[in-house]
Structure 1
Amino acid sequence: MAPPVTPELLLHAYRAGLFPMSDARDDPELYWVEPRRRAVLPLDHLHVSRSLARRIRRGGFSVSYDSAFRAVMEACAGRAETWINAPILDLYTQLHEAGRAHSVEVWQDGALAGGLYGLEIGAAFFAESMVSPRTDGSKLALTWLVDRLRSGGFQLLDAQFLTPHLASLGFVEIDQSDYRILLAEATERSARFGTGPAATGQEVLQRRGQTS
């Protein structure tokens, strides 16, 4: 019988390049995945389109970190098909309570307009899933995530599998062997996700040189 998956085992697996998934929301089992090719984002290569930059300048939304972690996870799991089951929800919630898992929330009119969650180990951040109840919600969440990761000294942003959506935002696919090198370097370094408030849209765009 396989040992139970604990938060400590989960962290160990990520350091080795593995992550857990489930076949369905109601499936109680987990299995480990190690893709042969991995989606990563060089943190200075996030593509913020002109339309998204205009959306940021226009405002009308707010961003927070770690204020609704469980709600973001549940929103990500709310699709018709999902790999996020009850054990995964509980494991990452425990890691969040231990300060190892984080969420980004985008709010509009008092409701969750977008969000994402993931896990930090050293200077590596593993983005698990994102959700966009409103237009551009997930893009805004990713933009604010990257801003915080860059400010905190992170080196690696891993998104597991490359999709056309992620590719349009600047993610690239690398071989497993190259990923392991980046992973080993990043997890042995230190970074700080931080607990302060989110930057303003003007600050985010200034740091990206997109104020005009």
Structure 2
Amino acid sequence: MDKFIAIVGTNSDNSTNRKLLQYMQKHYANQAEIELMEIKGLPMFNKPADKQVPAAVTDMAAKIEAADGVIISTPEYDHSAPAVLMNALEWLSFHIHPFVDKPVMIIGASYGSLGTSRAQAHLRQILDSPELRARIMPSSEFLLGHSLQAFDETGNLVDEQKTAKLDGLFADFETFVEITKRLKNAHAATAQEVRDLDWDNL
């Protein structure tokens, strides 16, 4: 059974993105082990001169490295991924590189009708950056709009079409993870390239 880390891409205590990941954790319990990862509480990234990464971040990196894949659920603020999520990714690419060749599935929930489409596109660009080098599952947007009305009192999705779409994408992600495990011929060279990046000149 695959082990996935599910990153809650917000610091809100009442986020429907957390609710969506909790639903997936329960709904796919027979297919994969999904552990939720919170990013709230991390210090603001400040490119420390001593190159010391907070212990909370190194713990996160270790879990990501050990996982078969990562699921990120992002809200959308001002047509972009939230600052708290970008802050976490900045820490997770500062002299530590857990995302190199790591399979990533991006999803998102929002109160409006667009369902974080722009934030997901923005997040894809960030994860594809030279400092992160994640493998993002292509053509796989899951956009949960009107998310305040999307769940019943037990935390399940109420829209059968949305449930079917998520089921299909999750199955595709499991396949994508298995394929990615075989795409390792350039991994050592890619990882070395990322390690060789000079943060002092970025």
Answer yes or no: same fold by TM over 0.5: no
TM bucket normalised to smaller: 0.3 to 0.5
Query: Which structure's residues are more often strand, by fraction?
Result: 1
TM-score under structure 1 length normalisation: 0.33
Higher relative contact order (CA 8 A, sep 6+): 1
